[in-house]
């Protein structure tokens, strides 16, 4: 729920959430225990240019070895559980019950997707985000095994490239994301890129095979980001 000073509580539905993303807004909660949500529209936004993805050589070797079984949108609940879990670099989480419900609904509607890294039958890393036309809005990622979430990110970028997407929104720039080419742009520039992406009505998240091998991912990345060659 979104609370206002006049004590009126407005319901946030999946449809309202999609409209907010299309306007450059996204929701967050103060903590997992706080049932309310608030809207953010940062003055500066993190984006990862899909034709400028940086792929570390060691990560490329891991991808080529198919060290993980990468699945696409098979277990949303497990992924959001992982993203909401406590980790050494994340002592608390902002993913509350309202976030879980809203994004679960978007997943059921086909507007939220996950990239999952599995090993020996266990989910060891993953990410989830929102999909609208040619824009993908990354929400959160987690890892329980070295490089698991990084492999998921590389698979996501390859999938977005192959599907004709033009915008990968990371919300903010972290030291971790900066290593892969994430940059910060101002609100006006972001709005222009978002509007362009929303015109891409032919973007297809599933254009890239769900069972794509590591070699296929590397070939796709190299074809769209020449510096990877």
Is residue 125 in a domain?
A: yes
Task: Indicate the helix (H) or strand (E) that contains 123.
Answer: strand 122-132
CATH number, domain containing residue 174 = 3.40.630.70
Q: What is the maximal distance between C-alpha atoms in the chain?
A: 57
Is residue 61 in a domain?
A: yes
Q: In total, how many domains does the chain have?
A: 1
**What is this structure's pTM?**
0.92
Is residue 33 in a domain?
A: no
| CA distance linking residue 34 with residue 2, whole number of Å | 11
What does each C-alpha distance from 90 to 45, 83, 127, 176, 210 come to in angstroms? 21, 10, 15, 13, 30
Nearest Cα neighbor of 130 from 113, 117, 115 is 113
Q: Which residues contact 172 (CB under 8 A, 6 or more apart)?
A: 42, 45, 46
Is residue 29 in a domain?
A: no
Torsion of CA 138, 144, 150, 152, to 10 degrees: -60
Per residue of the chain (229 residues), give pLDDT as tens. Answer: 333 333 334 578 999 999 999 999 999 888 778 878 889 999 999 999 999 999 999 999 999 999 999 999 999 999 999 999 866 665 567 799 999 999 999 999 999 999 999 999 999 999 999 999 999 999 999 999 999 999 999 999 999 999 999 999 999 999 999 999 999 999 999 999 999 999 999 999 999 999 999 999 999 999 997 766 5
Domain that holds residue 50: 43-228
DSSP, collapsed to helix, strand or coil, labels residue 153 as helix
Is residue 22 in a domain?
A: no
| CA distance linking residue 69 with residue 211, whole number of Å | 9
| CA distance linking residue 90 with residue 35, whole number of Å | 20
Is residue 158 in a domain?
A: yes
């Amino acid at each position: 729920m979104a609370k206002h000073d006049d004590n009126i509580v407005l319901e946030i539905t999946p449809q309202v959430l999609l409209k907010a993303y299309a306007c450059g807004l996204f929701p967050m909660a103060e903590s997992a225990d706080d049932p309310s949500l608030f809207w953010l529209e940062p003055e500066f936004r993190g984006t990862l240019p899909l034709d400028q993805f940086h792929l570390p050589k060691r990560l490329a070797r891991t991808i080529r070895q198919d060290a993980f079984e990468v699945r696409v949108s098979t277990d949303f609940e497990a992924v959001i559980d992982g993203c909401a879990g406590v980790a050494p670099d994340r002592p608390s989480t902002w993913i509350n019950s309202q976030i879980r419900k809203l994004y679960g609904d978007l997943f059921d509607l086909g507007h939220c997707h996950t990239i999952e890294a599995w090993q020996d039958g266990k989910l060891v890393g993953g990410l989830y985000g929102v999909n609208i036309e040619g824009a993908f809005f990354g929400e959160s990622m987690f890892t329980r095994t070295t490089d698991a979430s990084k492999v998921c990110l590389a698979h996501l970028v390859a999938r977005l490239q192959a599907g004709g997407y033009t915008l990968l929104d990371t919300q903010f720039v972290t030291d971790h994301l900066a290593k892969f080419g994430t940059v910060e742009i101002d609100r006006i520039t972001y709005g222009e890129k978002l509007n362009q992406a929303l015109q891409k009505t032919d973007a297809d998240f599933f254009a890239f095979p769900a069972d794509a091998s590591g070699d296929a991912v590397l070939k796709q990345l190299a074809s769209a980001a020449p510096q990877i060659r």
